[in-house]
Structure formats: structure tokens, C-alpha cells
Structure 1
């Protein structure tokens, strides 16, 4: 698994926060992205298909222990949350509006710092109540993690691919926050397109 919260040459973002940012990226790219790598795509539209996509996206991440209890209706709610979180990435001059939407999400899903633990596990900091349902827990955790990135002045690391017909999002871990594309294939597409434009000019 790529530890997306590790920023080269800089202090690491807490692993719990990083895993929630990665979960947000995966859910947005799976449930709320209409273009990928130059092609139009159709995100899953039924609750059952969304549920399968959500379960695949959260594999290898430590998320709410009741993830296996998610229902198709829960997956529909998570698709709505993914669409709400998407504007936070590459918000640019619209960061204040994106932050206002994020604040609203945090209130609606009852985000609250909370220490969770059990006799078998040490106490750990979470951003949701112990009795929160999985959807509220995921929304609160993802929203708080994104808010923390913005709050420490790292909003530029929440990026969206700048290649044509690609709306995938990512968390930029480069030293100087210079990443512009979701992956190498889109970077190469953009370079080829720019080269053809120069030739035509």
C-alpha cells in the first residue's frame, strides 16, 4: 500500500489521518469521478454496485470495524459524501467555499475527537463517537482528516489531475507540492497534447 500521507523530507502526517485521506481519495475516484485517463467513465449507480466498489476501495486500510456491515443504502450515502468531498481537492481560489461545505459535513456527521479502545487494544484517537454508524464514522474521519491538512496550510497537496478528460484526485506527497497529474500516463498524455499544440502553432 502506498502510504500517501508520508511527505518526502517533511514531518509525517499521522498514520490515522493519512489513511482517512487515502480513503477519501479512493472513494471519490471510485464513486464520483466522471473522467479517468482521457475517457468518460460511468461510476457505479446502484446501491449493490456502489457497495462492491466501496468494499474494494477500503481494502488494506484500517477503517471502521463495522465496514463489513455496510448495506447498499450505506453505499449510496457514501457516494453522496464522496461527491461532497470532491470540491475540497484542487479548490484553489474557492478554498473558502470548499471549507464551508466541509464544515457543514463535519457538523452533519457528528465529527468529534474521541479516544477509542478496548481491553485488547490501546486507546487511540478517532474523529467519531464509538457508537457512530459506519457512514457517519467514515464521513467524520475523512472530513476531519482533510480539514487538518487544510488547517496546517497544506491545502495545495489536495490535488486533481490537470490532464484533459481526467478528474481523478490525489494527495501530493512531493517535497514542494508540485504534482499536477494523477499518474504518469496522464502526465505523458498532457505532454503529448502540448507538443502537438506547439507543432500546430
Structure 2
């Protein structure tokens, strides 16, 4: 799930924390952004990422973006992604780990199938409301809501503080 949020936020979001954000425009910049972001993960995904892979991941991220926030076409596009990348459960590696991509799949195919399956599992168990998009004005970052009652509305404290300050100022004006 972490990888899904990371890829969408790095490659498919146009505004964050009240500022316009220009997603990386070419393969080399996308590759650098993905490598930088995955390096911060506790267990970064394995595999060599090329500029062409990064371009392909940008397409996958754009396709996954509507799933966060439950857009009307989210289930259909997620099902199409699962079919396109041949998501199938199998054990691989040492020690064996459960994966959802075809054995011998490329890095992009593996990430897309695994991410798509993770999102489908969340939606399939009735927790799709936890796949959220920030509600703050000027921010379209996505996140997975892990709060007890699925009540998180903002990607982080900065957006929450901006929204609350804006609401306070609006109340004071009226």
C-alpha cells in the first residue's frame, strides 16, 4: 500500500500543501524521484529501475490516482489493470514471500500487479473508504487512512492546519 501511495504522490499529483507541483517530466527525472522516494521506505522494492520503467510507472500511477477517493471508474480501471498485468498469487524468493505478479515479470509489471492487488484487497474487504485524497484546498496528495474510525481528512498536519486556519478566518469574517 505504501508503494501505491508513494508512486501516485510522486508521479501523478499536480498540487501539494497549497502549492502547484510539477510532476517529473521525463524518464530520468521520474527515475530519480522514484528512487529518492523508495529509498525512504523501510523495505524499498528490489530491482533496477530504468528511465523507461519510470515513464511506464508514471502511466500506472496516473491510472491508479482515481482509486484514491473512490472515483466512479475506479473499480473498472483497477480490474483492467489487474488483468493487463496478469496479477496472480504465487510464492517467490528466499524466504518465500507472497507476490501477485507473474513469475519472470518485469519490474514495472511486478509493481503494477502487486500494487493493484493490494488496492483491490482493501476495496474488496469493504475498506475502500480508507483510500483517501487530501481534502485541503490546493492539495491532491493521496494517503491510506489508518485511523480507528476512518476519519482522517488531510494528508498531514500542514494541510490540516491550513484548512482549520482558513475556516477560522472565514468564521471571523462573517
1:115 equivalent to 2:91? Answer yes
- Give, in whole Å, the separation in 2 of the partners of 1:157 and 1:64: 23
- Per the TM alignment, residue 200 of structure 1 is displaced from its structure 2 partner at its CA by 2.2
C-alpha contact (below 8 Å) 1:63/1:138 kept by paired residues: no
Aligned pair count reads: 173
Does the Cα contact within 8 Å between 1:23 and 1:61 map onto a contact in 2?
no
Kindly state the Cα deviation for residue 122 of structure 1 after the two structures are TM-superposed.
2.4
Maintained 8 Å contact 1:64/1:137: no
Write out per-residue CA displacement over residues 23-69 of structure 1, whole angstroms, 9 at most, x where no aligned residue: 01011111111010001010100110000011112223545532x2x
Summarize deviations over 1:72-123 as a string: whole Å, max 9, x none: 111000001001101000116x2xx201100001111111111113xxx222
Which of 12, 25, 37 is residue 5 of structure 2 equivalent to?
A: 25
1:142 aligns with 2:118: no
Q: How does 1:24-43 map to 2 (within 5 A)?
A: 24-43=4-23
Question: Which 5+ residue runs of structure 2 have no aligned equivalent?
Answer: none
**Could you tell me how far apart the structure 2 residues matched to 1:127 and 1:180 are?**
30
Q: Take 2:112 and 2:43, find their aligned partners in 1: how far apart are those partners? A: 15
* Residues 61, 104 of structure 1: alpha-carbon distance in 2 compared, 3 angstrom cutoff: farther
CA RMSD of aligned residues (A): 1.3
* Structure 1 length-normalised TM: 0.83
Q: Deviations over 1:164-183 (max 9, x none)?
A: 00000001110000000000
Does residue 78 of structure 1 match 2:57? yes
SS of 1:125 mapped into structure 2? strand
Note if contact 1:54-1:75 (Cα within 8 Å) is conserved in structure 2: yes
> Aligned-pair distance for 1:142?
0.4
Q: Supply the distance in 2 between the matched residues of 1:32 and 1:107 (Cα, whole angstroms).
A: 22
**Aligned equivalent of 2:31:** 51
2:2 partner SS: helix
Q: Distance in 1 between matches of 2:44 and 2:102?
A: 14
TM-score by length of 2: 0.95
Aligned partner of 2:126 among 153, 159, 170: 153
Structure 1 unaligned spans of 5+: 1-20
